[in-house]
């Protein structure tokens, strides 16, 4: 009797033979060389970098690929600003505080989807998913869940802002390359910020790392992410 396999299973890049890693490494190195006019020769990406007219609020992260110093490793990295990590941490805290004020039944109702018939294809009926209308909760001072979360996020940002540290965090479970999350003290992610991060990562020995000192508070935003995106909306990229 054969054991049923998982058709989505794959071998992580870090577990491949050195020969297969080296083959992928060489191919990436050639791609980076070909992409030098676009990305500068230190990395490559499938994303558009430094898009003209793109507001800073939409330039807070970027995915890149670059080779390791050992001649066979590939770093599959996401570079994010301290701003974005700051907003994420605040939103997590605000969400946790907001949900703690509601009962399980209230939360279930908030996230319940309704279905309505949309169209037919032959004899098969297709449905449209409809989110319930936002509810105002007495436990949230009469606000909706989203409104209360935003108010709480603003209070956290101004009264008890979390500390954010520059860091490099590795993830060896990736199918292509080794995952790497980079948090950098930069207002935006542009080519200079990416190149600076790669060079620092290499100088530190291509390993997990967190700065002992937090990013200075005046380097981080004084608006919530929702406020920053709303301000940038008239200039946001289309499509």
For residues 35 and 228, give the distance between their C-alpha atoms in angstroms, rounded to a whole number: 32
CB atoms within 10 A of CB 164: 25
Any idea which residue has 């191919």 for tokens?
27
For residues 73 and 7, give the distance between their C-alpha atoms in angstroms, rounded to a whole number: 26
CA separation, residue 209 to residues 14, 87, 170 (Å): 19, 21, 9
Residues 6+ apart with CB under 8 A from 9: none
- Name the DSSP class of 170: E
Q: Which residues pair with 63 in a beta bridge?
A: 78
**pLDDT per residue rounded down to tens, the chain (239 residues):** 333 344 458 899 999 999 999 999 999 999 999 999 999 999 999 999 988 888 999 999 999 999 999 999 999 999 999 999 999 999 999 999 999 999 998 888 877 766 666 666 666 666 666 667 788 999 999 999 999 999 999 999 999 999 999 999 999 999 999 999 999 999 999 999 999 999 999 999 999 999 999 999 999 999 999 999 998 876 555 55
Q: Where are the chain's structural domains?
A: 13-87+164-235, 103-159
For residues 155 and 214, give the distance between their C-alpha atoms in angstroms, rounded to a whole number: 20
Which token pair is 218? 């005046």
- Beta pairing, strands 61-67 & 74-81: antiparallel
Residues 6+ apart with CB under 8 A from 131: 113, 114
């Amino acid at each position: 009797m054969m054991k049923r396999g998982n058709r989505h299973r794959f071998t992580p890049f870090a577990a491949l033979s050195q020969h297969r890693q080296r083959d992928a490494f060489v191919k990436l190195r050639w791609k980076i060389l070909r992409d030098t006019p676009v990305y500068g020769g230190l990395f490559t990406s499938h994303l558009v970098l430094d898009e003209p007219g793109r507001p800073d609020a939409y330039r807070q992260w970027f995915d890149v690929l670059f080779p390791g110093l050992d001649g066979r490793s590939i770093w599959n990295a996401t570079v994010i600003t301290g701003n974005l990590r700051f907003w994420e941490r605040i939103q997590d805290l605000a969400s946790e505080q907001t949900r703690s004020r509601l009962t399980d039944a209230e939360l279930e109702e908030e996230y319940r989807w309704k279905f309505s018939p949309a169209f037919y294809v032959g004899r098969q009926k297709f449905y449209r998913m409809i989110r319930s209308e936002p509810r105002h909760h007495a436990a949230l001072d009469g606000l909706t869940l989203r409104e209360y979360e935003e108010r709480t996020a603003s209070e956290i940002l101004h009264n008890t802002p979390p500390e954010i540290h520059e860091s490099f965090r590795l993830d060896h479970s990736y199918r292509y390359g080794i995952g790497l999350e980079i948090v950098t003290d930069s207002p935006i992610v542009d080519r200079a910020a990416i190149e600076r991060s790669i060079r620092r990562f290499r100088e530190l020995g291509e390993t997990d790392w967190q700065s002992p000192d937090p990013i200075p508070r005046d380097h981080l935003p004084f608006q919530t992410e929702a406020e920053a995106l709303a301000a940038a909306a008239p200039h946001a990229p289309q499509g």
